[in-house]
Amino acid sequence: MLNWTVRDLAEKSGVHRNTVTRIETEATAPGHSMAAVQAALTRPASSSLRRMAAAQA
């Protein structure tokens, strides 16, 4: 479990948090934004952890 907030997922995906909410509620059609969210969720944990550590530094 990643334990990410909508804001976390939006930042890691490079999309606005409202876009993540629309995807969650199926209020948006598949496209670039959904692909970006999917990519963020399927990245190896080590790369996500490195990005989080860099953002906090």
Per-residue pLDDT of the chain (57 residues; tens, 9 = 90+): 788 999 999 999 999 999 999 888 888 777 888 888 888 888 765 555 566 556 665
Q: What is the pLDDT of residue 8?
A: 93
pTM attached to this predicted model: 0.58
CB atoms within 10 A of CB 37: 20
- Which tokens go with 23? 């995807």
